[in-house]
Structure 1
Amino acid sequence: MKIAIMGTGGVGGYYGGLLAQAGEDVAFIARGAHLRAIRENGLQVKSVFGDFRIAPAKATDKPGDIGPVDLVMISTKTYHTDEAAQAIQPMIARDTMVISFQNGVDSADRIGAAVGMEHLLGGATWLSAAIEAPGVIGQYSQFRRIVLGELDGRRTPRVETLRDVLARTGATVELVDNIEQILWTKFVFISAVSALGAMTRVTFGEYRAVPEARAVLTEALSEVAAVARAKGVKLDPDIVPKTLAFIDDSAAGIKPSMQRDIEAGRRCEIESMIGIVVRMGNDLHVPTPVMKTAYAVLKPGELKALAQA
């Protein structure tokens, strides 16, 4: 399968690397020093499942040079979604599949508006990975789970083919008919831990066992779930305790990518991870006091990072 990775960060670099290692024809789209390092030294992956290097690696900052592909995997930061959706258009042919492994819950609609919703598949991943240095991806979690589905719930040959291709990488891959529910289930988790991690600046293991912090985490999970239900999303009735159990079972040293960006003084995904919950809560008349507080606490730092970029 001919595959383009739009955004070779932690998620895109890791899964793109696995796909290339499995024998797929993968092109990595990156920028700056990261792109130069990949071109010169290949893509190095340091993973809890075993280190490897893709060398030589196809890499470019010009999607038009790649041409039409079978699959575009978008894994840019969410604040680059609209730019990425425009940039991938030269790679879209009649049967090209497009899947987003970004955080948040609105990427598919934004990308589909640019390239056509008929190309979009729904996708979610659970993974902790980041760029450690130019050309180097670190992968830290014991989980590397992917869930796929057609946005309308159908079971189609194309989504089954993609499942099989991704499964050959060694990742856990599931095919579902309720991808919207899955996306929101993940969002309940990632939105809440991004807020708590960014405010506390410590790891899962350092805040999840502190009673006061755990109570705030539980409330954040409940707020995001309440917003989803107000939108008509069918979530499991026990999603909050299930998500807490998942956090408890996760490696103690994990930090969400948004938290890592904030700690490094970089622009972060505050709008698509926290701001969207606040805005939807306001529109739907659902109280979100923890998420509003997180947004207020973190927004000044985001504005500073933007000003210095």
Structure 2
Amino acid sequence: MIETKKTRIAIAGIGGIGGYIGGKLANHYSKIENIEIIFITRGEMAEAINKNGLKLLSKDISYKCVPTLTSDEPLEIGVIDILIICTKNFSVTDVLEKYTDNLSPTSTVLSIQNTVNGKETITPYLPNGAMLMEGSIYIASNIIKPGKIEHVSGPAKLFFGTEAQFNNKGEEIAKIFNNAGIDTIYTTNIKSVLWKKFMFVSPAAIVTALFQITFSEILESTKSEYLFINLISELMQLAKAKNIAIDDNAVLNNINLLSNFKGNVKSSFQLDLEKNKPTEINSLVNYVIEEAKIFQVQTRYFDSALTQLIKEYKTLKN
């Protein structure tokens, strides 16, 4: 008898994004023997999933998602073939430090954060031979309660890949995701993809937080729309200074993207501020300001926004 090696896929961070990706994977592969899906989470979320599985609501469909294992114990988890990091940016290094020994020289790490400098952060933690693929997902998805995730509205499209170098693993992972119903594209132009998303996420996060509005309301006020456009423009200048290929129509594209979000959709940055939780201000705001100084790019609107955020949210945590 020929034994087929199992592919062990672990999702770290079962929040809005990790719950959507992990949920779709667990739902599809629960009865497929050569793929194991592991949820890395703890506390109330782990308790709820271990008791009743994960409930994922997406496009009026309810999925019951039961992973092979739900745990945050490295010894229990074992060797991981594909580690998908879906935590907030400030937790990425904690994940890597804790689960480095679960990675092998043939492992692939897929990072899905709202950042453009993930490679610099993650690479030092990888064992020799392990592959890093950076990713970006367009989705509005939130935790409703422990054990329940809702994909709210708008698109749900995942891009991931490498830069200027094709890798067969990328196509294999994309196939695994697409088979599970996750709209996925593997690319060898990941830098431009990450910057395209970042030029939407960072301005949208700042504007929704400062004006305490939803995505769909950004264009309803001249002041909020004006700030949104100028933040995008400053990011475009920074990207060009760094020789990142970007679309000159980024402002118009991002305005059109806002129209895809319906109802009460808020940025995760805004929600974290409202709940007095740690935020991604370092990656969404501070990184831009510091990087702009290096490349001598003016960031008048980012500077002003940071000042206003600190004033508005006096307990702002990095």
The structural deviation recorded for 1:56 is: 6.3
| Aligned mate of 2:136, from 119, 124, 129 | 124
Tell me, in whole angstroms, the C-alpha distance in 1 between the residues paired with 2:157 and 2:181. 10
Residue range with higher mean Cα deviation, 163-172 or 180-189: 163-172
Tell me, in whole angstroms, the C-alpha distance in 1 between the residues paired with 2:120 and 2:313. 25
Q: Which runs of 5+ in 2 are unaligned?
A: 1-6, 30-34
| Aligned mate of 2:44, from 20, 33, 48 | 33
Q: Which runs of 4+ in 1 moved over 6 A?
A: none
Question: What pairs with 1:249-260 in structure 2 (closer than 5 Å)?
Answer: 249-260=260-271
| Aligned mate of 2:301, from 280, 286, 290 | 290
Question: What pairs with 1:225-264 in structure 2 (closer than 5 Å)?
Answer: 225-264=236-275
Tell me, in whole angstroms, the C-alpha distance in 2 between the residues paired with 1:149 and 1:234. 16
8 Å CA contact 1:270, 1:299 repeated in 2: no
In the other structure, the counterpart of 1:13 is 19
Question: What pairs with 1:167-206 in structure 2 (closer than 5 Å)?
Answer: 167-206=178-217
Tell me, in whole angstroms, the C-alpha distance in 1 between the residues paired with 2:180 and 2:155. 13
| Aligned mate of 1:22, from 14, 28, 33 | 28
Residue range with higher mean Cα deviation, 70-79 or 246-255: 246-255
8 Å CA contact 2:105, 2:130 repeated in 1: no
The structural deviation recorded for 1:144 is: 0.8
In the other structure, the counterpart of 1:92 is 103
- 1:59 maps to amino acid: T
Cα deviation digits, residues 270-291 of structure 1 (max 9, x gap): 1111111111122222111221
In the other structure, the counterpart of 1:110 is 121
Q: Which runs of 5+ in 1 are unaligned?
A: none
The structural deviation recorded for 1:47 is: 2.1
The structural deviation recorded for 1:79 is: 0.7
- 1:12 maps to amino acid: G
- 1:17 maps to amino acid: G
Tell me, in whole angstroms, the C-alpha distance in 2 between the residues paired with 1:19 and 1:56. 8
- TM-score when normalising by structure 2: 0.90
User: Measured at CA, do residues 301 and 12 of structure 1 come closer, stay the same or move farther in structure 2, by a change above 3 Å?
Assistant: farther
Residue range with higher mean Cα deviation, 72-81 or 108-117: 108-117
Tell me, in whole angstroms, the C-alpha distance in 1 between the residues paired with 2:311 and 2:224. 22
The structural deviation recorded for 1:207 is: 2.3
8 Å CA contact 1:112, 1:120 repeated in 2: yes
8 Å CA contact 1:42, 1:53 repeated in 2: yes
In the other structure, the counterpart of 2:154 is 142
8 Å CA contact 2:55, 2:64 repeated in 1: yes
Residue 2 (structure 1) aligned with residue 8 (structure 2): yes
Tell me, in whole angstroms, the C-alpha distance in 2 between the residues paired with 1:128 and 1:166. 18
User: Measured at CA, do residues 295 and 56 of structure 1 come closer, stay the same or move farther in structure 2, by a change above 3 Å?
Assistant: same
In the other structure, the counterpart of 2:171 is 160
Question: What pairs with 1:58-69 in structure 2 (closer than 5 Å)?
Answer: 58-69=69-80
8 Å CA contact 1:41, 1:56 repeated in 2: no
Cα deviation digits, residues 152-203 of structure 1 (max 9, x gap): x222211110010111122221122210010011100100100101111111
Residue range with higher mean Cα deviation, 95-104 or 131-140: 131-140
The structural deviation recorded for 1:104 is: 0.9
The structural deviation recorded for 1:16 is: 0.4
In the other structure, the counterpart of 2:88 is 77
Tell me, in whole angstroms, the C-alpha distance in 2 between the residues paired with 1:57 and 1:306. 35
8 Å CA contact 2:89, 2:113 repeated in 1: yes
RMSD value over aligned CA atoms?
Answer: 1.9
> Partner of 1:127: helix, strand, or coil?
strand
More strand by share: 2
User: Measured at CA, do residues 257 and 6 of structure 1 come closer, stay the same or move farther in structure 2, by a change above 3 Å?
Assistant: same
User: Percent identity, aligned pairs only?
Assistant: 26
The structural deviation recorded for 1:57 is: 5.6
In the other structure, the counterpart of 2:282 is 271
The structural deviation recorded for 1:298 is: 2.1
In the other structure, the counterpart of 1:219 is 230
Cα deviation digits, residues 108-160 of structure 1 (max 9, x gap): 22111111474201211111112221121121123111112223x22221111
Tell me, in whole angstroms, the C-alpha distance in 1 between the residues paired with 2:60 and 2:113. 22
Tell me, in whole angstroms, the C-alpha distance in 2 between the residues paired with 1:301 and 1:200. 10
